[in-house]
Amino acid sequence: MPVEEQTVHVAVQIVLVALGSALGGLTRWGVAVAFGRLFGTGFPWGTFFINVSGCLFLGWFMTVLSERLPPAWISGDNLKLMVAVGFTGAYTTFSTFEYEAHGLVEKGDGLLSLAYVFGSLFLGFLGVWLGVRLARIH
């Protein structure tokens, strides 16, 4: 592929991810605000819903994309960039985490999947705890 064509290709990919990210971020914000108003803020229902619905959506989308033909107006790779990476990535990264863990199970690496899930949860929580402590050092 000539350099000019590669440059255009990368520019299109950047626009697709940016568009998907903007829509996913706005959707996340809207859902969080709506859930906060509907159910209060004593429990993070909005984030909980976002994480679960993002996992459901990503599992559905990636399966449809890999097992059926993508629409004729956009390539499968570009659609994946816009929707899976951009939209769903901005909506929730938890869905990507869960999808990857499922992929390990699908490959027969159940133990590795469990290590990934529990390691991510524990080390992620530890990272937040440590980050808060570091931020509070005077």
Residues 23-57: pLDDT tens digits? 999 999 999 999 999 999 898 899 899 999 999 99
Burial class of residue 129 (count of CB atoms within 10 Å of its CB; 0-12, 13-18, 19+): exposed
The residue extents of the domains of the chain are 3-92
Alpha helices in the chain (DSSP H): 3-39, 45-67, 76-79, 88-91, 94-106, 110-135
- This prediction's pTM: 0.79
